[in-house]
Structure 1
Amino acid sequence: MSSTKENNNITNNNNTDDPVVSDDDGELFNGFGSSPISRNQMRTSKRWSFHNNTRPNLMDFSSEATTGIEIPRRLSDITGVDGVHKQLDPFNELGGAQLYSTESGRLFHAGKIIIALAGLPGRGKTHLSVSLTRYLRWLGVKTHSFHLGDYRRASAEDDLTHDLFVPTPKSNKAHGLREKVVNECLNDILNFFKNDKGQVAIYDAVNAKPEFRLQLEKIFKELNIQVLFIESLVTDDSIILKNIEEAARSSPDYKDWSYDDAHKDYSERINALAPFYQEMGSSKTLIEDHLSYIKFINFGERIELHNSNYGYLINKVVFYLMNGRIKSGSVFLARCYKNSLDVNYDPSLDEEGINYAKNLTYTLINQLKKEGKDYIKEIPEVKPPLKRELSVDERQPAVGQDGIDENSLVIWTSVKKRTIETTQFFATKNINIRNRIQLTQKNPGIVGCMNDEEIKLTYPDEYQQYLQDPYHYRFPRAESYHDLAIKIEPLILEMERMSGDILIIADETVLKVFYGYLLSCSCYDIPTLDFKTDEIVEIKFNAYSNVAERIKIEDYET
């Protein structure tokens, strides 16, 4: 990674009289992390909504924000609904790996930040904005993606051509529509900072010309909001072609279009916009030299930083970018055999467990075939021979060895015997199997092997505290779901670096946390997620939102 450091970094505007974005940032005066994470800190407030004509106009900074409608609590179930685009719920917005909370809901030492993307279509900007939103929300940062395309689709008319996408349209109608959707989007971003106490807004747009980018920086810097540009550049034609194919299949712009027509239209859109796009830092007058920006080249192959004296939160973004790539494939989640066993008990698989391993293997292979993936050969009918114990280097290799090939499968298990032995039929097919100690189930402590009724009778006080916050509460000598989330964060980053498919075989408590990250669930929903013993849950990566499906484990016993 190359880095260019300058002295003219973005400075903070400490104008406390600002009528638009002033906050009750009381934690600045009460001390670092002055209160522990608590549901009681999630204060009730009204919410604004997208495309709501009653919302205030903050573009001219002339009116105070009004209120919208209350948002009901989202049901917690494995429904396949990705929460990454949902508005933040006042009762339900803590991320799974949030370390502390504050009165304002913001990390007090990080300030307010807008991340403005830049780049031609087909450069993975939407994928980048969504994945960043997912990661930052997981860390407990109030983050929202604002996709300019959503606003355009809400206002566009059928008779407009690719003239709409160029920075200086010839048509007055197209020019008026461009101004309208940009103002609507920026207005919602400003509402997000003021009314929702948002911390990071991600503005997903082309931002083709220096003057547009400078205007953005001016608007938000005057409001004491840090501005970081991330420019997605692609020099590898194969990446562009792949992104065009993905857009033709899944972009909301091409709903009900044939693939060939969508591919042609999206290619024409790129060609129409390309002559107008000016790369950041390329201007001969150096008018953007004072901006802070990151050049994200070939989706992580190279990263260049300009004015890189960043604070804590932006450095977390940079760290994530260093581990990111355009995701493909799926994550499959399967419960281990006898999920209810005591955490200290580690038996080998019995005959029924071996049948479960075989059924799981056949079911997954057949599912991959249905999806057009044939990189796993037929399972032999003979029982696989026992192999020698693998070394630590073989079970947990250096990062970067797995997930290089899109047509591949990697299996992660805990270090329990029954999870390792569940992979014995995959092992004969030369599938990479990794045993991760981080996937060890949540330690229940003194309530191990007790049901809710027994816990309620034996430990009534502890049980009441648990009911108030089942995600963060620890029984004596136990772990919490929050502890699990912190423990598996290195695996989440490793997963983000990988392509291809991943199968995770672990205890239900571990699967809940992974699902919570991949589908952007609130931490209060995670403990109530329900994983069946006879199902595999498949989570498919998508540029705009992930999709979860249940797969019934078939019985192949003969």
Structure 2
Amino acid sequence: MYFEANVAALFLDRFHFSYFSQIKQTIKFNVALALSCECICNLLLQHLQINKPYSNFNVNVFYWSTASRPQFTNCPTMIVMVGLPARGKTYISKKLTRYLNWIGVPTQVFNLGQYRREVLQTYKNYEFFRPDNEEAMKIRRYNTFRMIVFFIESVCDDPEIIEANTMQVKLSSPDYENYDKEEALVDFLKRIDCYKMSYVPLDEEKDRHLSFIKIFNVGSRYLVNRVQDHIQSRIVYYLMNIHVTPRSIYLSRHGESELNLLGRIGGDTGLSSQGQKYAKALAEFIRGQSIKDLKVWTSHMKRTIQTAEALGVPYEQWKALNEIDAGVCEEMTYEEIQATHPEEFALRDQDKYRYRYPKGESYEDLVHRLEPVIMELERQENVLVICHQAVMRCLLAYFLDKSEDDLPYLKCPLHTVLKLTPLAYGCKVESFYLNIQAVNTHRDRPTNVNVARKPEEALQTVPEHL
């Protein structure tokens, strides 16, 4: 069956395109999202700067593994977003992209609306979407890739949700850059009417052979059919946990600990005198925010529990929120690690995200450990998470869509609260320093990561101890 609806596509794993002339080009990407019209193949080929028409290509899709990261699928998969305009397809796609990136499936967003605007300069209004526009329909039907297909359909018949999405998002689209608000709204509603004439929703009986999830009214009900593999089950699980209720997530490290004062990593000591002052300041700050139905989460470690105790409210302990396990390096200073394990110190600097401490963890391990926390955060409303530096970096990287390379170097200072407010297509971050002095535990990215470097070069970015 053919969907005359807005679509989005995710392409999992890597593709190899070869010309008939045997001139080969390898394109490296794991996931791509495309929104708005069905000429996916041509526009992606154009995006990848392959200027031959699709008929001149022999498309060979294959998979190879890499030692550096786990592979979640061994066959390319296209995830097609189905639904009328203003049904939240872009919102779902962007959140799903962020999640897949975070769990280690490199993801790139392809917005076909953008490519349509660039390629089809002739059409400046709803005329392109008319089902009787033969030229436009030929463009929209042109070609597809061969791959496993999974459909995500967003169905919404709640006028308030549709109107809110239209006003907040659609009228700020580049399509309406030179329109006044009322004119843009009229044109957009005509565009929806054009889609309705040819829109074919997924049918529970007729489409039983297809793999799909239907989401009704932003999550009030779901219909899941024929989930075939691991990546599809991960996607379904994620989509069934997200919601659009306005809320804020507060992230804070514990108060300064006794080991922080000594420049030692890990361990399970209590708060320093400054850390105790911060716990009281945090309680005052939270009271001043007047947060409705706030939930408080901590790790199982003393320093987060002592910080939460000052709030005087119930809190929930998560073992998954414990600090990264430094293995044999627990409770050592960076200077001691360099002196006793110089090679390990250099190897960690070479790939801080994937490096695993001997008998300990890597940031990559920590991300997998924190996935249940992320799922529960997506289900909750207002939450204060009192955690640790590495844990806070991982959580922040998820909400801000930061890369694996940037994640281990995100700045999460002591005695500072970050307020995250999820928005339609991103996340607003507000930082509150509570004016309680603390040591600096942030180590900048080193420039020299060679195993044979001198000790002073290895320790160049180590913060000073109090």
TM-score by length of 2: 0.70
Percent sequence identity over aligned pairs = 30
Q: Structure 1 residues 148-157 or 334-343, which shifts more?
A: 148-157
Question: Does the CA contact (< 8 Å) of 1:325 and 1:496 recur in 2?
Answer: yes
- Superposition map of 1:175-254 within 5 A: 219-221=144-146, 225-247=147-169
Q: Structure 1 residues 233-242 or 512-521, which shifts more?
A: 233-242
Shift of 1:357: 2.5
- Superposition map of 1:25-104 within 5 A: 55-57=49-51, 60-62=54-56, 102=66
3-state SS of 2:269 partner? coil
Shift of 1:421: 3.6
- Superposition map of 1:254-403 within 5 A: 266=188, 269-271=191-193, 273-281=195-203, 290-306=209-225, 308=226, 310-326=228-244, 328-338=246-256, 340-341=259-260, 343-347=266-270, 349=271, 352-363=274-285, 375-376=290-291
Distance 1:343 1:262, change over 3 A: farther
Q: Does 1:451 align with 2:333?
A: yes
3-state SS of 2:56 partner? coil
Q: Which residue of 2 aligns with 1:495?
A: 377
Residues 208-253 of structure 1: CA deviation (Å, up to 9, x unaligned): xxxx6xx76xx323xxx11122111124444334433432686565
CA–CA distance in structure 1, aligned partners of residues 81 and 168 of structure 2: 20
Shift of 1:528: 1.6
Distance 1:332 1:520, change over 3 A: same
CA–CA distance in structure 2, aligned partners of residues 247 and 139 of structure 1: 28
Residues 349-387 of structure 1: CA deviation (Å, up to 9, x unaligned): 565334313433444565x5xxxxxx53xxxxxxxxxxx
- Counting matched residue pairs gives 396
3-state SS of 2:219 partner? coil
Tell me which amino acid in the other structure corresponds to 1:325. H
Residues 25-58 of structure 1: CA deviation (Å, up to 9, x unaligned): 9xxxxxxxxxxxxxxxxxxxxxxx9897881146
Q: Which residue of 2 aligns with 1:168?
A: 131
CA–CA distance in structure 1, aligned partners of residues 245 and 65 of structure 2: 31
Residues 98-148 of structure 1: CA deviation (Å, up to 9, x unaligned): xx9527988375300111111012211111111221222223223333222
Q: Which residue of 1 aligns with 2:419?
A: 538
Question: Does the CA contact (< 8 Å) of 2:268 and 2:301 recur in 1?
Answer: no
Question: Does the CA contact (< 8 Å) of 1:540 and 1:548 recur in 2?
Answer: yes
Which residue of 347, 354, 358 maps to 1:465? 347
- Superposition map of 1:385-534 within 5 A: 408-424=293-309, 426-427=311-312, 433-498=315-380, 500-534=381-415
**Unaligned residue ranges in structure 2 (runs of 5+):** 1-14, 27-42, 438-466
CA–CA distance in structure 1, aligned partners of residues 311 and 335 of structure 2: 39
Question: Does the CA contact (< 8 Å) of 1:105 and 1:142 recur in 2?
Answer: no
Question: Does the CA contact (< 8 Å) of 2:125 and 2:187 recur in 1?
Answer: no
Question: Does the CA contact (< 8 Å) of 2:18 and 2:25 recur in 1?
Answer: no
Q: Does 1:110 align with 2:74?
A: yes
Tell me which amino acid in the other structure corresponds to 2:345. Y
Tell me which amino acid in the other structure corresponds to 2:250. F
CA–CA distance in structure 2, aligned partners of residues 105 and 446 of structure 1: 24
CA–CA distance in structure 1, aligned partners of residues 378 and 239 of structure 2: 10
CA–CA distance in structure 1, aligned partners of residues 72 and 150 of structure 2: 18
CA–CA distance in structure 2, aligned partners of residues 439 and 226 of structure 1: 36
CA–CA distance in structure 1, aligned partners of residues 184 and 281 of structure 2: 40
CA–CA distance in structure 1, aligned partners of residues 16 and 182 of structure 2: 55
Tell me which amino acid in the other structure corresponds to 1:55. Q
CA–CA distance in structure 2, aligned partners of residues 256 and 413 of structure 1: 50
Question: Does the CA contact (< 8 Å) of 1:327 and 1:541 recur in 2?
Answer: no
**Unaligned residue ranges in structure 1 (runs of 5+):** 1-15, 26-48, 66-99, 183-211, 369-374, 377-406
3-state SS of 2:150 partner? strand
- Aligned-residue Cα RMSD (Å) equals 4.2
Q: Which residue of 1 aligns with 2:107?
A: 143
Q: Structure 1 residues 146-155 or 517-526, which shifts more?
A: 146-155
Distance 1:357 1:520, change over 3 A: same
Distance 1:365 1:63, change over 3 A: farther
Tell me which amino acid in the other structure corresponds to 1:228. F
Per chain length, whose mean CA-contact separation is higher, i.e. which structure has more relative contact order (CA < 8 Å, sep 6+)?
A: 1
CA–CA distance in structure 2, aligned partners of residues 460 and 408 of structure 1: 48
Question: Does the CA contact (< 8 Å) of 1:334 and 1:535 recur in 2?
Answer: yes
Shift of 1:463: 1.8
Question: Does the CA contact (< 8 Å) of 2:126 and 2:188 recur in 1?
Answer: no
